[in-house]
Structure 1
Amino acid sequence: MSGSQELAVREKQEAAPKEEKTVPGRFYVPPTDISETNEALIVVMEVPGVDRNNVTVALENDLLRVEGQIEFAKYRDLEPVYTEYNIGHYARRFALSGKIDRERITAQLEDGVLTLTLPKQQEAVSRKIAIR
C-alpha cells in the first residue's frame, strides 16, 4: 500500500432486511476489515456488547452468515448522557469463492472483536516455482 492512499471510515449503518426477523431490535452491519495472507483470508468484525453465546456463524452453500445478538437487559437501566453508537444486533453475509476451505473456517470472539479465519484450499495457496 502506498503512502498516498487514505482509508475511508464508514459510518455505522442499519442492515437492510433480506427477510423478516422474529428477534426484536434493529440489526446493524458491523464494521469489518478483510485482509489476505498467503494461507487465508482474515475477517475482523466489531461486535461490541455481543456475548460469544449469542454469535452465530453459519455456512449455507457458498454464503457465510454472521449474526450477533445483544442482550438488551443489561442496558435497560442506563440513562445515556452522550452516545455515538446505537445498541442493536449485528448481521452480515459473505459470498465465498471456491478457493476457501470450508471445513477449516474458524471464529474467535475477544473483547467485542470477532475474527474469522477463512483458510484457502491447498491449490489456491501461491508458491514459488524453482527455476532449473
Structure 2
Amino acid sequence: MSDVMKKEDKSLPTFRPATDILEREDGFYIYMDLPGVHKDALVIDLQENDLTVSGKTSYPAPENERYSEMQFGNGEYRRSVSLSDIVDRERIRANLNDGVLELYLPRVEKTQPKRIEITSG
C-alpha cells in the first residue's frame, strides 16, 4: 500500500461497529452494523487467528452546497475478532444485507474414531 493511501485512511474517523456474536450448535454467527458500507468497500481479512472486518462509507458532498451540520459522512468501520481452533476457517461465509454484515463461522467437524482393519500376511 502506498504512503498516500495510508495518509488518506488516517484522516477518516474510525468507528467500531456494533456487533452481536451468537454461538449455536453448528458454529458462530457474527452480526455487525455497517450502515452506508457497500460490498465493494468492505474487506474481510483472516490472518492466523484474527478475523478483521473493515469498511468505508462515502458520502460525496453535493456540488455548490454546504452542510450546516453533518452527523454522519465519510468514515471507516474496523473490528477484529480472535478465532479459536474450533472454527473451520475454510468454510467461513459472509453476507451483507441492508447495512448488516452476517458472518458464519462453522465449527470444525468432529473427527470420528476410525477402526484400523487388520490384514493377515
Q: Could you say which TM-score interval applies, normalised by the shorter chain? A: 0.7 to 0.9
Superposed CA offset, 1:83-106 (max 9, x none): 5xx432100001100000000001
User: Which consecutive aligned stretches of 4+ in structure 1 deviate over 6 angstroms post-superposition?
Assistant: none
Matched residue type, 1:117:
Y
> What is the CA–CA distance in structure 2 between the aligned matches of 1:49 and 1:80, rounded to whole Å?
21
Match of 2:101 among 102, 109, 114: 114
Paired residues, number: 100
> What is the CA-CA distance between 1:51 and the residue it aligns to?
0.4
Q: Which residue of 1 aligns with 2:18?
A: 31
Gaps of 5+ in 1: 1-20, 125-132
- The equivalent position to 2:28 in structure 1, one of 13, 38, 41, is 41
Task: Indicate how the Cα distance of structure 1 residues 64 and 53 shifts in structure 2: closer, same or farther if over 3 A, else same.
Answer: same
Amino acid at match of 1:103: E
**Percent sequence identity over matched residues?**
33
Q: Which residue of 1 aligns with 2:38?
A: 51
The structural deviation recorded for 1:122 is 1.0
| Superposition map of 1:1-132 within 5 A | 21-22=6-7, 23=9, 24-73=11-60, 76-77=61-62, 79=67, 83=71, 86-87=72-73, 88-123=75-110
Deviation at 1:80? 6.4
C-alpha deviations, 1:1-36, integer Å up to 9, x for none?
A: xxxxxxxxxxxxxxxxxxxx4313111000000001
Q: Which amino acid aligns with 2:59?
A: F
Q: 1:99 to 1:27 in 2, by over 3 A?
A: same
**One-letter identity of the residue aligned with 1:112:** G
In structure 2, distance between residues paired with 1:112 and 1:62: 26
Unaligned runs of 5+ in 2: 1-5, 112-121
Q: Normalized against structure 2, the TM-score is what?
A: 0.75
Query: What is the aligned-residue RMSD (CA, Å)?
Result: 2.0
